Amino acid sequence: MTGLEKGKSLFEKQEFEAAIKEFNSFLSDNNNNADALYTRAICYRKINQFDKSIQDLTSILSRLPNEPSLLCDRGISHFHNKDIPSAMKDMDLAVEIDPKNPYRYSSRAYIRSRSDIDGAMQDYEKAIELDPKDEISYNNLGMLQENAGRMKAAKKNYSKGNNILGYNPDDRKEHLEKKQEEIDKPEDRTDTKKERVPQKSLVKVMLSVFRSKQGRAEYFNYLKSLFNKK
């Protein structure tokens, strides 16, 4: 098993610090390997070393500047690093390059909701237009609408999300949390109870697209595509 394979195996086991050590060793002899750099960047983000995550992603972007998945991931790292302007810049460019991908809009919406509620709602609406079965976007859009006092629209979107899930409202919270548990640490689980909350705490309640199944699937598909790029 190569160092790259060991690192990726450790990543899948969520042993991020051990994975980083394997990638460091591998990259000492293969410093331009995009697959190793990308996975190490995600590992750094998982252990809250956001500057290093951004550095690795920027290194790949210097060679693949028009990869929307890379831009989106760097935007996520900027977001966690509390650099919202840089995060939005990357997300805007990802949307511009890949305008038919609903994930681009839902990713940007989650960040945008920090400062531009109307814009975030427009992004979630676009994500739903492109993917009418995106229950997480319905949920997040509904929460923004409820917080803005648009109760009728919010209830409509909650209902649509419930129909997609196939669960009644009483079971909704439990089901969505179970989806999150598949890839989240226990302490990172998000409460989805629909309450009227102040704007500062709203983001904490919303289901983060960055921990959704769709986000995880995109990550693995992108790794596969990068592996074949020189």
- 7 in any annotated domain: no
The predicted model scores a pTM of: 0.74
Looking up residue 188, the CATH number of its domain turns out to be 1.25.40.10
- 155 in any annotated domain: yes
pLDDT tens string 113-136: 988 999 999 999 999 999 999 988
- 94 in any annotated domain: no
- 14 in any annotated domain: no
- 85 in any annotated domain: no
- 192 in any annotated domain: yes
- Which pLDDT band holds residue 107 (cuts at 50, 70, 90)? very high
- 95 in any annotated domain: no
Could you tell me the residue range of the domain that residue 220 belongs to? 100-230
pLDDT tens string 24-76: 999 999 988 999 999 999 999 999 999 999 999 999 999 999 999 999 999 99
Which residues neighbour 163 within 8 Å (Cβ) at sequence distance 6 or greater?
A: none
Say yes or no to pLDDT of 208 above 90: no
Give the distance between the most distant pair of CA atoms in the chain. Answer: 59
Q: What is the mean pLDDT of the chain?
A: 81
Considering its fold, how many domains does the chain have in total? 1
- 170 in any annotated domain: yes
Q: What is the pLDDT of residue 228?
A: 41
